[in-house]
């Protein structure tokens, strides 16, 4: 197993950050990593995303929501072929911090293919950092409107 993560402090309450995370259809407006999204943050539902890694073509994934605790925790799982070959669980954990939020974004990569996708994993980690910065900007703008 390989784990990557990225965290950031956001000057907005967890419910404001959550609203941006689960508005998947709006990802194309602000998200530099997940360039298209659809679905609902409901346990058992299937999401539909297009990821764009630097220097690569867009890739479609259709993960299943495993945890959806509004304002706190969202986790989905994507499987390539089968769990033995490659699977990933992606999560957002939101922790209240004063009047803001600490956001942790994490991915667990599992399967026989993990040692062979090191370059992709490194790009994904950079994508998480880029996404967190964009999410911070979007959430703080939304908080200033309220």
Q: What is the band of 142 on the pLDDT scale with cuts at 50, 70, 90?
A: very high
Per-residue 3-state assignment (H helix, E strand, C coil) for the chain = CEEEEEEEEECCCHHHHHHHHHCHHHHHHHCCCEEEEECCCCCCCECEEEECCCCCCCEEECCEEEEEECCCEEEEEEEECCCCCEEEEEEEEEEEECCEEEEEEEEEEECCCHHHCHHHHHHHHHHHHHHHHHHHHHHHHHHHHC
Question: Considering only 9-13, 35-39, 66-70, 124-128, which range has the smallest mean pLDDT?
Answer: 124-128
Whether the predicted pLDDT of 93 surpasses 80: yes
Number of domains in the chain: 1
pLDDT per position as a tens digit, 108-139: 999 999 999 999 899 999 999 999 999 999 99
Mean pLDDT of 97-110: 97
Q: Which domain holds residue 122?
A: 2-145
CATH number at residue 115: 3.30.530.20
pLDDT per position as a tens digit, 48-90: 999 987 777 899 999 999 999 999 999 999 998 788 999 999 9
> What predicted TM-score, i.e. pTM, was given to this entire model?
0.94
Q: Residue 24's pLDDT is what?
A: 98
């Amino acid at each position: 197993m390989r784990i990557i993560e990225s965290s950031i402090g956001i000057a907005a309450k967890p419910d404001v950050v959550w609203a941006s995370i689960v508005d998947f259809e709006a990802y194309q407006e602000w998200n530099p990593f997940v360039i298209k999204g659809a679905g609902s943050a409901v346990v058992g539902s299937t999401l539909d995303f297009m990821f764009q890694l630097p220097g690569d073509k867009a890739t479609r994934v259709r993960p299943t929501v495993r945890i959806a605790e509004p304002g706190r925790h969202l986790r989905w799982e994507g499987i390539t072929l089968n769990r033995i070959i490659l699977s990933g669980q992606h999560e957002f954990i939101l922790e209240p911090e004063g009047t803001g939020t600490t956001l942790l974004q994490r991915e667990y990569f599992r399967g026989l293919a993990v040692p062979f996708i090191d370059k992709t994993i490194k790009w994904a980690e950079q994508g998480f950092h880029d996404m967190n910065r964009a999410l911070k900007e979007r959430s703080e703008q939304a908080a200033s409107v309220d």
